[in-house]
Amino acid sequence: MELTHIDEKGNTRMVDVGDKMHTRRVAKAQSVVTMQDSTLNLIVAGKMPKGDVFACARVAGIMAAKKTSDLVPMCHPLPLEKITIDIEPINKTQVRILATAQCTYKTGVEMEALTAATMAGLTIYDMCKAVDRTMRIDEVFLLHKDGGKSGVFNREI
């Protein structure tokens, strides 16, 4: 298997996508934030001292997706067409963040979706840490990708 980010001398490089065709690319990633039930109750009731936690996390996830190439060294800057961040409680102590990224370009949007899901989780942590230091962010992974030469990927969960 050829390592695409390493040249023939072993040096790190950005992959050349110049000759690739533009295709529609979609990726969906998740993260799960675990917290005390009292913390989730405050968020859902809109009583967290720092404001609307989920709204802020959605904005942070979108902003992060747009900055992925600034954060991950070998990522190409992409002309993102759509980013969505869905956040919902999945039980009394956890929220699931689903980030979907979409573009028509020469390379995939997996890193953008993963970055969005992670930053949304970090924002929830930041906004709630004053009332709950036990929070953790887990289960960050790619759920789905479509487009490009490698085709479709769906994680079985």
- 126 assigned to active site: yes
Q: What is the C-alpha to C-alpha distance for residues 60 and 63, in angstroms, rounded to an integer?
A: 5
Region of 145 on the Ramachandran plot (φ > 0 left; ψ -120 to 50 alpha; else beta) = beta
Non-local CB neighbours of 9 within 8 Å, separated by 6+ positions: none
Catalytic residue among 16, 52, 126, 132: 126
Q: What is the distance between the alpha carbons of residues 5 and 145, in angstroms, rounded to a whole number? A: 20
Nearest by Cα to 148 from 112, 117, 103? 103
The candidate with the shortest Cα–Cα distance to 43, out of 128, 130, 126, 136, is 128
> What amino acid positions are annotated as catalytic residues?
126
